[in-house]
Amino acid sequence: MPRSARPAGVARSCLTRAADALASSTLTYAIPLLILTTTGSAALTGTAFLLEWLPRLTAFAIGGPLVDRYRADRIFRAANATRVCLIAVALAVLGALPATGPAVTAALMALGAAGGLLAESSYVAVETIGAQASRRAGELAHRVQAVQIGIDQGALLVGPLLAGALLLAGSLPMLAAVAGLSLIAALSVATAEAAAPSEASGPTHVLGALRTGWRTVRGIPALAWLVTGLVVSNLAVAVVQVSAPIIVLHAFNRSSVAMGAVWSAAGVVALAVVAGCRWGIERWGLWPVGAAASATACLACFAVALAPSFPLYAAAIGVLMAGEGALTVVLRTLRSRLIPASVFGSTLAVTILLVMLPFPVAGALVAVLPPTDLPGLLLICALLQGAAMAYALHGLWRHRASYALPAQQALAGELPAATRQPEQAHAA
């Protein structure tokens, strides 16, 4: 975005988001991979993934209302400080236990569950901070979101590779690195965002806040259609993610470093696509970019399921994550344009809760199915993904006047008055 539009302290804000995202990414990929390498069990790997994501749903449910009630920087700082304390306890416990065994597996699963809860609590907070910056940027909101998603994709690039490399030295160095990153995030946000005022005073009760968020999503048709499509699409992505360690290590006989390299390479591709989305959205609008991203992700999911070799499998994952990166830019831009600031935290919690719900479902599916059935599961998910995104894109096209920029509306012959949702008019 132009220098004149950049808020003060942007470098420190980027450091805050990058340290938090890298800590979360490293821990998320390391725990299931560590359990797979120490136990050799695909079922336990799927169970670890399931236990990582179930608490994340709780974090989504309570994180948004807490952000609406308290300042986002306070929730972010508390989540990262708690993660540092839990990792310190885990380091002491794992240091006193043998290298392998049921006790170590249980300790790692408990850490994965707690880490998932804290990772998403901090994500809801930092995403709210990012939405505040997007609203200040006005029609440049998509550029702000692209920068923030670029940071997240950078963490996706480095996190798995860092996890795989650190696991070669053992679980303790890996956990110490995550604790250090969390500490950097907590300290940097204290300076970067401590003066940011709370923009909302939404419902104080979790259930009431979630009902408000649900009504807001349903009342914004374009957002509702996109979220519906992404719920099914994310099931395919989640199955790819949770099955990847099993396929890479067992089916293709590669190492944990190769597993990290797959996702790091995917992050490189996704970074380039996210950067290009800024130009694409400005020239063609959200719907064409969303349609191209959806088609890319669906075709790549088919390729992942049918890949006969490791290089083709890695390439298909790269294309898949590129499509998902572009879809994320579209979703976040829609959220920042359409959701009123007074209920942003609650509505953000609901949207994240819905689109992340497939991840524990994927963990459960991989835990109960034999490894030989994973390609068939991926193929079924790809078919569902294609159908769901087709319906979602149809809904987005019908309601495109609600989110298109004024210049794009003029090109399409839309009336300027159609750009405002009833919720936005009420909030104004």
Choice between 319 and 404, residue whose per-residue pLDDT is larger: 319
Residue-level pLDDT at 303: 92
Residue-level pLDDT at 125: 84
Give the mean model confidence (pLDDT) for residues 301-307. Answer: 89
Going from the C-alpha of 378 to that of each of 30, 124, 247, 319, 375, the distances in angstroms are 23, 29, 12, 15, 5
Among 352, 346, 312, 263, smallest CA distance to 57 is for 352
Asked if 193 contacts 72 with a C-beta cutoff of 8 angstroms, the reply is yes
Q: How many domains is the chain built from?
A: 1
Residue-level pLDDT at 316: 92
Residue 1 lies in a domain: no
Residue-level pLDDT at 81: 93
Residue 4 lies in a domain: no
Tokens at residue 198, please? 């709370």
Band the pLDDT of 415: cuts 50, 70, 90: very low
The rounded percent of the chain whose pLDDT value lies above 70 is: 83
Band the pLDDT of 244: cuts 50, 70, 90: confident
Among 401, 274, 280, 333, smallest CA distance to 127 is for 333
- Residue 232 pLDDT exceeds 80: yes
Choice between 366 and 146, residue whose per-residue pLDDT is larger: 366
**Residue length of the chain:** 428
Residue 80 lies in a domain: yes
Residue-level pLDDT at 10: 59
Residue 44 lies in a domain: yes
The Cα–Cα gap between 224 and 217 comes to 6
Residue-level pLDDT at 181: 92
Residue 278 lies in a domain: yes
The Cα–Cα gap between 117 and 74 comes to 16
Asked if 339 contacts 223 with a C-beta cutoff of 8 angstroms, the reply is yes
Give the mean model confidence (pLDDT) for residues 44-52. Answer: 79
Model confidence over 114-135: pLDDT tens digits?
888 888 888 888 877 777 766 6
Task: DSSP letter for 252, please.
Answer: S
The rounded percent of the chain whose pLDDT value lies above 90 is: 9
- Residue 389 pLDDT exceeds 70: yes
What lies within 8 Å, CB to CB, of 253 at 6+ separation is: none
> How many Cβ atoms from other residues are within 10 Å of residue 297's Cβ?
25
Model confidence over 147-197: pLDDT tens digits?
777 788 778 777 877 887 887 777 788 889 999 999 998 888 754 343 344
Among 353, 354, 332, smallest CA distance to 403 is for 332
- Residue 3 pLDDT exceeds 80: no
- Residue 413 pLDDT exceeds 70: no
Residue 125 lies in a domain: yes
Residue-level pLDDT at 305: 87
Give the mean model confidence (pLDDT) for residues 376-386. Answer: 90
Q: How buried is residue 290: exposed, middle or buried, by Cβ count under 10 Å (0-12/13-18/19+)?
A: buried
Residue 141 lies in a domain: yes
- pTM of the model as a whole: 0.64
What 97-103 contacts at long range (C-beta under 8 Å, 24+ apart), as own/partner pairs, is 99/38, 100/38, 100/39
- Residue 397 pLDDT exceeds 50: yes
Model confidence over 307-335: pLDDT tens digits?
888 999 999 998 998 898 888 888 877 77
- Residue 294 pLDDT exceeds 60: yes
What lies within 8 Å, CB to CB, of 372 at 6+ separation is: none
The Cα–Cα gap between 175 and 294 comes to 36
Amino acid identity for residue 276 in this structure: G
Residue-level pLDDT at 137: 60
- Residues 155, 158, 164, 166: what is their CA dihedral angle, to the nearest 10 degrees? -100
- Residue 4 pLDDT exceeds 50: no
Tokens at residue 165, please? 């490399």
What lies within 8 Å, CB to CB, of 99 at 6+ separation is: 38
Structural domain boundaries enclosing 419: 9-427
- Residue 73 pLDDT exceeds 80: yes
Q: How buried is residue 304: exposed, middle or buried, by Cβ count under 10 Å (0-12/13-18/19+)?
A: buried
Going from the C-alpha of 44 to that of each of 50, 93, 172, 229, 308, the distances in angstroms are 10, 20, 21, 30, 26
CATH code, domain carrying 75: 1.20.1250.20
Choice between 412 and 65, residue whose per-residue pLDDT is larger: 65
In the three-class reduction of DSSP (H, G, I as helix; E, B as strand; rest coil), residue 246 is classed as helix
Average pLDDT, the chain: 78
- Residue 8 pLDDT exceeds 50: no
Band the pLDDT of 404: cuts 50, 70, 90: low
Residue 36 lies in a domain: yes
